[in-house]
Structure 1
């Protein structure tokens, strides 16, 4: 855990070494058009960042570390940023939030949340026929199932095949975008009877479980399972440690089923989903406003409200082990119900 990087509001990515905090390299991210400014960003997956620009473009940029060896055989890592995709869109003020994904087969999906609750979906799909000829088709359509619902949180799975939304009244919605040009509403459910506001959504590693943070500080995970009324739908599977303030951000680990969560008071929790173990709580004398977990899961980095970076080294080799997972019933992903089963990952 010898390097961290920070993205500034003007689109400059700066790498620091962690012992003395010395700046190693700065890279100004290339705007998609002349004069375009960075509006916001979102981390997605391992070292991949979604950037929204003032001209409406979404770019997906990946931080890359490349091993290099000198004449003595000593290894160093070159630091760079690689643009994975650029998705055109609207620069209109009515766009509240945007998401973009590149699927495993190269399909690009973009979702824009508009001020009235409509969801504008844009897809670019490439198909290949038996003769090896490729054809690219563009799709653009609107989802209006959430109009008037006060959408307060939004996420996509890694392939851009499933879209999730949470509302200010505690409703969860799930759509399938698997068929290009179409959206199928799979779930619209009252997740919480007290209608508490859903404040944050994220996909847990593996893209089966949905992590849900709410205004009361609760962190829960859900996945599709058989319902008592028949069929399959989102069900509450795990309830994790409760914050004392609203959950504002979620950062699932890219190594295991752990979830990093940040609340409005600037306190971090780290919990393991399957074992339901609360692994640690972290705070700082200056409230934390952003946080992330390292790619190897061995460190947590956070940004304070006065612009300082705080780093913690984590030694947590087996978060999935608890008395319950060893000797009790556990509800694993894709299982219809809890059972006496052991999974090592």
Structure 2
């Protein structure tokens, strides 16, 4: 295992003036970072951790060995890299602020809705319309449950589930992502009106998927999950979950680039809840800003996840709104561009209040000397 470096933001600021200019704007968004940890691993083991501010960063990076210094400089540039908007059919989804992505599952065994939208097309359409009206920037449609112990779905069945939903949502004028691991489903979904591929296996499950996505030139969300077989939760064994997930996403990003997928079309997701313990999920949530160093827009999918129940006296799925909002706000605070949620209107309201606070902070000069 080679040596590696990581630049992790460890102090966030409400505005650049609160740090008198000693803060960087994360990913061109509404979050600012003023302190950082520059971490070096050798053979998978952390061997150094240097804390510094913006002014000290050039000196800290200059002290690294040549190869690590080059990577450190790239990550430092990535942390401030502003991302262009996603042009999805007639919809434009800006990446300079948090956007809410609504989850629409058309499966019989979804952990969140138990199949309510698969057998009742009218209920499915009403749910999609409510999410659009509630402010969803995109609807993520899936026809295969990826919860632990879920059985893999035959490609034909998955297509039969998602295509009618995509056609219905497309008629509403919504931007759509297809949540699938299979090229046949990706192809049918894009033909039906989907715009984005969202693959929990990061294009590992289907060996045809890298070439397919590259050929189609569509945006793709690469999520971290330890397993690339039927069960994406298998094989979660981490020396350091935060840095291991970072390395895994970096590796998949590089593979995607080598396959011809344009950098502007790659989005990343740390995969909360997939093959990770409660402690590992919490560690990832607390380290969310680190992943901006990879240089791509980021998605957080923590809505109604098992970790919320584990921290809330085993609250059932439909009683996890408070925890879901808390995690979504954590994603906003970390500068994440896409928040994948079940409760769209409530999350949009939380986002709007959060944005109001951010806007006020940017125009608040009361602490500066007159």
| TM-score, scaled relative to structure 1 | 0.28
More strand by share: 1
